[in-house]
Amino acid sequence: MMKTVSGGVCAAKGYKASGIHCGIRKNKTKRDLALIVSEVKANAAAVYTTNLVKGAPLIVTKNNISDGKAQAVICNSGNANTCNADGIEKAEAMCRLVSEELGISETDVIVASTGVIGQTLDITPIENGIKPLVDALGDNSKEAAEGIMTTDTALKEIAVEFTAGGKTCTIGGIAKGSGMIHPNMATMLVFITTDCAISSEMLSLALKSDIAETFNMVSVDGDTSTNDMVSILANGMAGNEEITCVGEDFNAFMKALNTVTVYLCRCIAGDGEGATKLLECNVSGAKTKEIAKTVAKSVICSSLTKAAMFGADANWGRVLCAIGYSGADVDVNKIDVSFKSLKGTVKVCKSGAGIPFSEEIAKEILLEKEIEIIVKLNDGEFSSKAWGCDLTYDYVKINGDYRT
């Protein structure tokens, strides 16, 4: 039995969070520093961007949690602390400031930054903000979520309860991500907390297995960021017997984790820079899982398909085009395509060829905020999903002067 609960990263036992404006961002109404703390040291795991250019915080975090342990997360927005000569030094300083204020080891701190690349991070606002940040700790998942946002327009948080070892466990998360979002992670920061007792090794396995089907299947604009990271803390305070191997409890944990990550994926995709619509590509009937994933990614990444969805134009040929250049081993003469929303479903392509359909009905379906692109390959038993958004005029406006 699993149910959604309130509280985000503070829903699980033993976690507090806060978010403040410390002065990194010019806009004083925007929070720019966030903190999440566990009462006790927790098992930890993280996954990082595949971009060869990596933000200094990722390097420091990877080193800090090499022992599979952490107790706090600090994140700033407004500056990515990437491609800076003193980046490592600044990221380590953020960890040290947290450790001194909380009385924990600086190597038990996960550190993250998001914002403009290549601009030196002024540590002074963070130094001045640490005490107010710690003083503000409480059931403040919302404030922490606001503190990590950049061009995001919507808060992204969720929590669910599930049962493991006969105990009620909770897992919750917050995320940021709007631009520089592409498969193999994104300008995406995701912080997940749970009170479930699970070993560091199984936690890492769960996270790596899950993101292959979730965060690595999200694309907004085709740019893979330098700073994306998904991290998870598990402090064991739910009191269940520690999960140390694959089995019923691990499966329950995986299901709960996936519920959290899929929700956050949809939030991120739907809040793409300038976006007006959430797109989900649902591929079925593939010969292999990899083929299904490749097709779903290609469709969701197609600029022409994204533009057509913005214009509510049922231009299904762009979907087939994206499948055709994806490199996936498919039989184009077997492909069916439909578009679906709350207004209904319209079939537009069968066996790789167009079929008669009402343009008026299709337009009505595609004017909705959430659109499902259904692709049936009719060639096997494997399926996959990918998430993205439409491509709008505002995306160019936002990114035309992002730095200045």
Tabulate helix, strand, coil % of the chain (nearest 5).
35, 30, 35
Give the model's pLDDT for residue 20: 98
Give the model's pLDDT for residue 187: 53
Give the model's pLDDT for residue 181: 47
Is residue 187 flagged as an active site residue? yes
Give the model's pLDDT for residue 395: 73
Residue 184, pLDDT above cutoff 60: no
Q: The tokens of 81 are what?
A: 């602390």
- Rounded CA-CA distance 156/176 in Å is 7
Element (H, E) at 283: strand 278-286
Q: Which of 68, 67, 138, 133 is nearest to 94 (CA)?
A: 133
- Rounded CA-CA distance 92/237 in Å is 28
The hierarchical CATH code for the domain 278-400 is: 3.10.20.340
- Rounded CA-CA distance 143/9 in Å is 11
pTM of the predicted model as reported, rounded to 2 decimal places = 0.87
- Rounded CA-CA distance 266/385 in Å is 11
Listed by start position, the domains of the chain span 3-270, 278-400
> CATH top-level class for 3-270?
alpha beta
The set of long-range contacts for 321-324, using a CB threshold of 8 Å and a minimum separation of 24, is 322/298, 323/295, 323/298, 323/299, 323/375
Residues 329-374 have pLDDT tens digits of 999 999 999 999 999 999 999 999 999 999 999 999 999 999 999 9
Residues 133-174 have pLDDT tens digits of 999 999 999 999 999 998 788 899 999 999 999 999 999 999
Give the model's pLDDT for residue 186: 39
Q: What's the N-to-C CA distance of the chain in angstroms?
A: 49
What residues contact 63, with CB distance under 8 A and at least 6 apart? 107
Q: Rounding to the nearest 10 degrees, give the CA dihedral for residues 63, 67, 71, 74.
A: 10
Which of 187, 194, 214, 305 is labelled catalytic?
187
